[in-house]
Amino acid sequence: MPIDLSADAVTLTEQLVNVFSVSLDEKQIADEVEEALGAVSHLEVTRRGNTVVARTDLGRRERVVIAGHLDTVPLNDNLPAWRDEENLHGLGSCDMKGGVAVALRLAAHLAAPNRDVTYVFYEAEEIEAEHNGLAKLAASDPELMRADFAILMEPSNAGVEAGCQGTMRIDVRLAGERAHSARSWMGDNAIHKAGAVLRLLDDYRERQPWIDGLRYREGLNAVRVHGGVAGNVVPDECVVEVNYRFAPDRSEVEAEEFLRGFFRGYDVTITDSAPGALPGLSVPAAAAFLATVGGEAHPKFGWTDVARFSGLGVPAVNYGPGDPLLAHKQEEHVPFADIERCEARLRAWLTEGLTEGLTEGMTVGQADQGEGA
C-alpha cells in the first residue's frame, strides 16, 4: 500500500517502517516518496538515484533544508512495525523514519511556509560514504543543498544537538625484530613497545572548547591492538589503532597535525577521516529555530551528515524524534510524543510571523494556506 501523506505523523511513521529499505535497497521507498510528493502542487520534486528532493520556491528571504535518510541497517527480526501504549517499534522507527515522517508531513501540508524549504530524503546513510546520497547530491547538484540553515532529522530525543565532532583514525606502527621466543634476547619485541603508546593515551587530557556557547569534549582512544606471528615467535610488528574525536573548531589538517605531534617519533598512518561541523547557532534562522523549539541546545559528540552541510558553508543541527542510543538495536522504537513534538515545533517555526516573511505581491491570505495541500 502506498504511503499516505494525509495520515497523522505516527501512522505515517508506521507505514514507512513497513516499507523495507535496508541500505542499497531503497528503490521502493524512494518510489513511494517521489510519487506522494509529486502530487503536491506547491513542491518542485527532483530525483537523483534513490534520493528525492522537494522544494518550495516562494522567493522568501531565507531558505532552510530539512533532511532525512530513507535507509536502515539490516533486518534483525524487527519487522513489521508494532505499537505499545506509548511507542512505535520496528526497524528504522527511531533511526530515522520518525524524522522522515515529520519532514514528509511538513512538505505536504505547509504550502506557504515563512521560509523557503528544501526537503531532502536520501539513500545509503548507514553504509560506506561512497554510497551516501547526500554526498552524491552535494557533488552532482550542490545548488539543491544551498541554504541559510539545515536540520538533519537524526534522533536526538526531540532536542537540539548542534554541529558534530570530526573523527580521524590512525595506525601507530611499532617495529621490532623476529626471534625464537626461547631466545628472545636475539630479537626485539614490537608488542612490548605498545606499552609506551598506551601510557601516552592514558595520560591524555582532552580539550573541552566552548563553541557557540556549547562545550565540546574531545576523545583520543586506542580502539584495537594487533600484532604477533606465532606462539613461539617474538613479533616484529605491532599496530595500535587510535580514534580521535575532535571538536569542530579544528579542521582535519589541524587534527592530523595534533596527532603527529602527540605521537612524535612514531610511525603514524591516517586510515580514515571526516570533518566536524560548527554549530552555527548565531545565524538568524538557527536562533529563531532555537527560540521556537525551546530547551537547551547540546553539542553532538558523534559524527553525522550535518558535516556535509557544513562543508558547503551551511550551518546545521540534529533534531529528531527518538533516543539515539536505540538506533540499530533490535528493540529500536520511537515515542509517539517525540514524533508529535517535533512536528508541532517545526511547524511553529515555519509558520510564525508569516506576515513578516511575505514577498512583494503576496497577500496574507496566500501565506495562510499552510494546510492547503
**What are the Cα distances from residue 239, in Å, to 26, 107, 160, 197, 223?**
38, 50, 38, 10, 11
> Does 125 participate in catalysis according to the annotation?
yes
Q: Report the C-alpha gap between 182 and 45 in whole angstroms.
A: 71
- How many Å separate Cα 349 from the centre of its chain? 21
Q: Report the C-alpha gap between 191 and 229 in whole angstroms.
A: 11
Q: Report the C-alpha gap between 257 and 138 in whole angstroms.
A: 28
Q: How many CB atoms neighbour CB 300 within 10 A?
A: 28
Rg, Å, the chain Cα set: 24
b/e map 341-353, b = 16+ CB within 10 Å: bbbebbbebbbee
Catalytic one among 125, 154, 218, 256? Answer: 125
> Does 71 participate in catalysis according to the annotation?
yes
* φ and ψ at residue 165, rounded to 5 degrees: -80, 155
**188 secondary structure, DSSP code:** B
C-alpha cell belonging to residue 267: 610511525
| Nearest by Cα to 334 from 115, 23, 93 | 93
Q: Report the C-alpha gap between 345 and 331 in whole angstroms.
A: 27
What is the chain's length?
373
Q: Which residues contact 3 (CB under 8 A, 6 or more apart)?
A: 12, 15, 16, 19, 32, 33, 36, 104
- Residue with the three cell numbers 515522517: 101
Catalytic one among 14, 32, 34, 71? Answer: 71
DSSP codes of every residue in 2-56: ---TTS-HHHHHHHHHTS--BTT--HHHHHHHHHHHHT-TT-EEEEETTEEEEE-
Q: What one-letter code names the amino acid at 186? A: M
Residues annotated catalytic, as ranges:
71, 125
